[in-house]
């Protein structure tokens, strides 16, 4: 049992880290667009190019702030400030002790993590009465700064060796077809756990990617080119196969929904809405998707196709990265091949693997689907609250791009049969108190509306669905 609890705590901690890493990653599209628009062959505005490059060069600082803020219990601004200060302390002290190290990114990650852990621990400390007004922020800020300074000595000894290992992994092993295949499979398999951002950030710690960031060049050019055929073509092919399958089975085809998901993946590289359709309800489809991703990366590596990514691998990223890549054109015919592969393979697998989309016959389901999912965001949030058992049943909520993680008092009060009619793409019940709703682009909007309704009713909603409230034991 202790081993099980430790494994659960470790998984939840890594998931929270993965969610926190999404904050700095969300800055990359803006930085890439500014840098590209400022180039001489586009708008020829040096100020835009310099602004984009400035954002890239300060990514370690942005990582420190985002991780410290993202891992804070209630999103405290003081903890985000402490993350920035601790990064400056750690980076300056390390550079003074061992000049010339390429350690900015690891300093950003460590400063953010150390700040979050120490500040969380420091809130339990009891201060003398005359210091009680400073109980919330001061102890954590001081102790986290001290902890970061103490990290300088072991980091100065260990980091040169670790950087050599990461550089070897990213520059030599992952650039081979076998290495690229393994990276692609692992990258997709980690998505349901929210840990793929941790893997991507680990690969970005080496010297080559730090130099790429400082010059605003796409990252991981040697092995991530294979993501483009999968994200721009393969997953839309999977949506096409699902649509055909539902037509064959005389079920509601959900053509508009699937087209939206396909365009979201192809244009901007957001794949989670599609992947969460079958990640839990049809694991064989997800395993096939992971293997095909690895195959695409391996083929691109073998053919010498090198096109990096700034933030995703959609059409927008390809336009920004195309000119700096090698053999970029061959991604198009390869993508068409993967569209056909995904469509054929998913069509075959769907004959044996069900999905969690509404499955009633067309004649029974269409009258209901025509009158659900109100367009007004507040009304839609109210409908979701009713489906979740009311405000009193909701304990904690957190949004991560396209999905909403929830903690409820009683899962029996959640009417899962109504979720699909409200536009929920898919949902996963993790345990007797926690579930995840895949809502697509509406996730942040619905979360904001529910929180606003909770504030009006003076109902406290936490930010950590994976953590049991005080006094509740699982």
Catalytic residues: 400
Contact 320, 206 (CB under 8 A): no
Nearest CA among 398, 243, 219 for reference residue 311: 219
- Contact by Cβ (8 Å): 50, 37: no
267: which strand partners?
A: none
Cα 327 from Cα 304, distance rounded (Å): 7
The C-alpha atoms of residue 355 and residue 285 are separated, in whole angstroms, by 10
> Which uninterrupted H or E stretch holds 367?
helix 362-369
192-to-197, 270, 281 alpha-carbon distances in Å: 11, 14, 12
Phi, psi of 49 (to 5 degrees): -60, -45
Could you tell me if 291 and 185 are in contact, meaning their C-beta atoms sit under 8 angstroms apart? yes
Closest by Cα among 165, 192, 170, 168 to 182? 170
DSSP string, 173-225: ITTSHHHHHHHHHHHHHTGGGT-HHHHHHHHTTSHHHHHHHHTTPPB-TTT-T
- 244 token code pair: 């055909």
> How many C-beta neighbours within 10 Å does residue 134 have?
12
Beta carbons of 163 and 102 less than 8 angstroms apart: yes
Distance from C-alpha of 254 to C-alpha of 357, rounded to nearest angstrom: 9
Angstrom distance (rounded) from CA 389 to CA 138: 40
Quickly count: other Cβ atoms within 10 Å of residue 164's Cβ.
12
- Decide: 459 and 314 in contact? Cβ < 8 Å: no
């Amino acid at each position: 049992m202790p081993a099980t609890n430790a494994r659960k705590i470790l998984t939840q901690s890594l998931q929270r880290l993965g969610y926190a890493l999404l904050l700095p990653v969300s800055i990359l599209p803006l930085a890439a667009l500014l840098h590209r628009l400022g180039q001489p062959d586009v708008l020829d505005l040096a100020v835009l190019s310099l602004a984009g490059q400035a954002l890239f060069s300060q990514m370690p600082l942005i990582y420190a702030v985002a991780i410290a803020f993202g891992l804070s219990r209630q999103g405290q601004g003081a903890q985000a400030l402490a993350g920035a200060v601790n990064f400056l302390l750690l980076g300056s002290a390390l550079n003074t002790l061992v000049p010339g190290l390429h350690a900015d990114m690891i300093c950003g990650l460590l400063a953010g993590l150390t700040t979050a852990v120490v500040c969380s621990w420091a809130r339990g400390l009891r201060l003398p009465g005359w210091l009680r007004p400073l109980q919330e922020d001061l102890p954590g800020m001081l102790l986290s700064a001290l902890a970061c300074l103490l990290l300088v000595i072991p980091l100065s000894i260990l980091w040169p060796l670790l950087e050599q290992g990461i550089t070897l992994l990213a520059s030599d092993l992952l650039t081979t077809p076998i290495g690229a295949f393994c990276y692609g499979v692992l990258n997709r398999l980690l998505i349901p756990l929210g840990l793929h951002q941790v893997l991507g950030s680990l690969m970005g710690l080496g010297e080559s990617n730090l130099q790429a960031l400082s010059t605003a060049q796409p990252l991981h050019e040697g092995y991530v080119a294979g993501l483009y055929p999968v994200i721009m073509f393969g997953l839309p092919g999977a949506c096409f196969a699902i649509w055909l399958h539902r037509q064959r089975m005389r079920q509601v085809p959900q053509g508009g929904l699937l087209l939206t998901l396909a365009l979201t993946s192809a244009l901007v590289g957001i794949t989670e809405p599609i992947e969460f359709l079958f990640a839990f309800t049809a694991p064989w489809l997800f395993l096939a998707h992971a293997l095909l991703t690895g195959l695409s990366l391996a083929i691109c590596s073998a053919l010498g196709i090198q096109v990096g990514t700034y933030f995703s691998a959609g059409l927008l990223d390809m336009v920004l990265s195309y000119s700096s890549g090698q053999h970029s054109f061959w991604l198009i015919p390869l993508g068409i091949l993967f569209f056909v592969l995904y469509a054929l393979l998913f069509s075959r697998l769907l004959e044996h693997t069900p999905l969690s989309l509404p499955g009633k016959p067309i004649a029974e389901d269409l009258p209901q689907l025509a009158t659900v999912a109100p367009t007004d965001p507040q009304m839609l949030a109210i409908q979701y609250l009713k489906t979740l058992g009311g405000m009193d049943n909701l304990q904690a909520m957190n949004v991560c791009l396209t999905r909403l993680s929830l903690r409820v008092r009683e899962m029996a009060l959640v009417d899962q049969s109504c979720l699909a009619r409200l536009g929920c793409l898919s949902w996963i019940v993790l345990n007797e108190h926690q579930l995840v709703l895949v809502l697509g682009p509406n996730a942040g909007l619905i979360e904001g509306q529910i929180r606003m309704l909770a504030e009006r009713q003076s109902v406290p909603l936490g930010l950590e669905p994976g953590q049991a409230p005080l006094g509740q034991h699982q």
